[in-house]
Chain A
Amino acid sequence: MRKFDTKVQHLKYKVLREVARLAWKDTLLEHVMDIPKTIVPGNEPTMRCCVYKERAILGERVKIAMGGDKNNPNVIEVIEIACDECPVGGYEVTNACRGCLAHRCEDVCKFGAISFDHNHVAHIDKSKCKECGACAKVCPYTAIVSRKRPCQNACKVKAISMNEQKAATIDNHKCIQCGACVHQCPFGAIMDKSYILNVIDIIKKSDNNEKYKVYAMVAPSISSQFTYAKLGQVISGLKELGFFTVVEAALGADMVAQAESRELAEKGLLTSSCCPAFVAYVKSAFPDLLKYVSHNLSPMATLAKYIKDTTPNAKIVFIGPCTAKKAEAQLDEVKPYIDAVMTFEELQALFDSKDIDITTLGEDVLDNASYFGRIFARSGGLSDAVAQGLKEQNLDFDLKAVPCDGIEACRMALLKLNKGILDGNFIEGMACIGGCIGGAGCLTHGEKNKAEVDKYGREAFEKTIGDAVSQLK
């Protein structure tokens, strides 16, 4: 059964699992130094030059699994010794160049950066090259490749650069915590800080939910995760871990859709505020456009606020696909409502740290939200929900939504909004490709994920946003 997309995720998972295993037993302090050797027991290296480097890197991973560097406010952290110092050359001609006659590369280059040697082999003049990639696209032998680092390629906000040691460094002012680099680095040298120790601590100190109740709030993208088991079994597993009950963040999405459609009808022009990475991007790259960002809290924070208002001693752990949610939970306006955030990857580690095989459990139920709240998990879902919200509340407003997934699409829409040439009146901004189902904290990123979310949406007991929200008075 394949649980993860990559071996990097699997390695990260093993570290989280071992840290959690010790934490449940209260023996983390005594045995934390043994974890690297538990994971790499032999004398033969399997990943790096030697077992000692492997273990040294694992030591760094253990630190991040325990909350990471307290002096670094960013939830995304680089493990310098794990960074393999990938080449940074940009576009280069490889030996696949046959020295052909056509010279498409030369013709397409607007900057005159391509010349040929006496063997007719192409060369790129780095002082003229603008890294546009046009030559690579037209070469019939695909002989021109980009040697950009995967982390830099993944980072669409250009927050990653190289330091003197050629290791990646993150500009915290530009970083929006989307986690794209975390998911893309082939050496696993960038990780999101983990707060599983806080989660374990919250569960333990609740004394079986006697002292206070611990709520697990799951993001709707969970429907595309844990595909080896049934969703109902995941819910049973969460209760087995010690959560009092499980609620759907999608109900918060229903509440947001209702409020946001009213706000849109009133203001006439709006962007969504659900995706914390998108909001962080607007803050850092388009501060003048902040006035258009919806004033609603995210679905996570909206529902958490409701729960805490009605159940004063509740503790709430959000479980989702998102690394940026970890940063959102630290914002002053969200902090009072959310006690910890973890990803689906981390949840898998927690299950296994207690040896809970969810496939053997019975199926519990999960039903709080409507179809529309649930489809927030995929690109376009929020726009559909706002359209429905306008309809249900009889608001006379001609919605023209611009659903954007991925930071590049968001950037285009925001640039147009800035220039006043946006063909639309509502920007749905999602930092990850495909929406939340493309999040960095997902176990798997499959083709079928969107279909799974839609299916889960259709299974909702409530068909309208109004029905789902109406019970909350």
Chain B
Amino acid sequence: MIFVQVCVGSSCHLKGSQDIVELFEKAVKDHNIEDEVVLSGSFCIGKCNRVGVTVQVDDEIHVGITRENFKEFFTENILKVIENERK
């Protein structure tokens, strides 16, 4: 089980956290991994950035997630982790 917290604090909110939430929901659904990923929000992870949104995956914090780099991020940090877990 992977716990994902998308930052919806003021700073990330203005940089499009809602888009990232939507992309996450869609990606999780498309890959049929609803049972393996828990999505939730967080008010500020303390890494306010110039570009993009902050996302926490389990204990790891990732900054600067945007619409553009989302796919890459998702493959690296969610799909690969799940694959490893399954092995």
Q: Which residues of A contact B (CB under 8 A)?
A: 209, 213, 215, 235, 244-248, 306-307, 310-311, 364-368, 461-462, 467, 470-473
> Taking the complex as formed, is B9 at the interface, i.e. its CB lies under 8 A from any CB of chain A?
yes
A461-B14, A471-B18, A473-B39 known; A245 vs B44 contact (CB < 8 Å): yes
Is B18 a contact of A365 with CB atoms below 8 Å? no
A473 touches B13 (CB 8 A): no
Given the known interface contacts A247-B43, A311-B42, A461-B14, the answer about A471 and B21 at a Cβ–Cβ threshold of 8 Å is yes
User: Which residue on chain A has the smallest CB distance to residue B40?
Assistant: A310
Query: Provided the pairs A244-B46, A473-B39, A473-B41 are in contact, do residues A366 and B10 lie with their beta carbons within 8 angstroms?
Result: yes
How far apart are the CA atoms of A370 and B8 in the complex, in Å? 13
Give Cα A471 to B43, complex, Å. 11
Q: Is the CB of A473 within 8 A of B43?
A: no
In angstroms, Cα B42 to Cα A306, docked, is 9
Asked if residues A365 and B11 are in contact (CB atoms below 8 Å), the reply is: yes
Q: Answer whether A471 and B10 are a contact pair too, CB < 8 Å, given A244-B46, A245-B44, A311-B42.
A: no
Q: Which residues in window 1-45 of B have CB below 8 A to A?
A: 5-6, 8-11, 13-14, 17-18, 21, 25, 39-44
Residue from the list B11, B14, B17, B44 in contact with A471, Cβ < 8 A: B17
Taking CB atoms, residues of chain A closer than 8 Å to B10 are 235, 245-248, 364-368
Query: Which residues on B are within 8 Å of A, measured CB to CB?
Result: 5-6, 8-11, 13-14, 17-18, 21, 25, 39-44, 46
CB closest residue in chain B, given A367: B10
Task: Specify which chain B residues have a CB less than 8 angstroms from the CB of A472 in the assembled complex.
Answer: 8, 41
Q: Closest CB-CB distance, A348 to chain B, in whole Å?
A: 22
Whether A473 and B44, one on each chain, are in contact in the complex, defined by CB atoms closer than 8 angstroms, is: no
Beyond A310-B42, A472-B41, is A367–B14 a contact (Cβ under 8 Å)? yes
How long is the Cα–Cα vector from A247 to B18 in the complex, in angstroms? 16
CB distance from A313 to the nearest CB of B (A): 12
Contact of A473 among B9, B14, B40, B46 (CB under 8 A): B40
B6 surroundings in chain A (CB, below 8 A): 471
Residues of A within 8 A of B25 (CB): 473
Q: How many Å lie between the Cα of A364 and that of B13 in the bound state?
A: 13
Q: Are A368 and B46 in contact, with the CB atoms below 8 A?
A: no
Other A-B contacts than A213-B44, A470-B21, A472-B41, 19 sampled, CB-CB below 8 A, are A209-B46, A244-B46, A245-B43, A247-B10, A247-B43, A310-B42, A310-B43, A311-B43, A368-B9, A368-B10, A461-B13, A462-B18, A470-B18, A471-B17, A471-B21, A471-B41, A473-B21, A473-B25, A473-B41
Q: Which residues of B contact A244 (CB under 8 A)?
A: 44, 46
Complex Cα gap A366–B42 (Å): 15
> In whole angstroms, how far apart are the Cα atoms of A364 and B25 in the complex?
29
The distance from the CB of B51 to the nearest CB of chain A, in whole angstroms, is 15
- One of A248, A306, A365 near B14 (C-beta < 8 A): A365
Closest chain B residue, CB of each to CB of A310: B40
Rounded to whole Å, the gap between the CB of A373 and the closest CB of chain B is: 13
A-B contact pairs, 18 of them (CB 8 A): A213-B44, A244-B44, A244-B46, A245-B10, A247-B43, A247-B44, A248-B10, A310-B40, A365-B11, A367-B13, A367-B14, A461-B14, A470-B18, A470-B21, A471-B18, A471-B41, A472-B41, A473-B25
B53–chain A nearest beta-carbon distance, Å: 10
The residues of B that contact A365 with a CB separation of less than 8 Å are: 10-11, 14
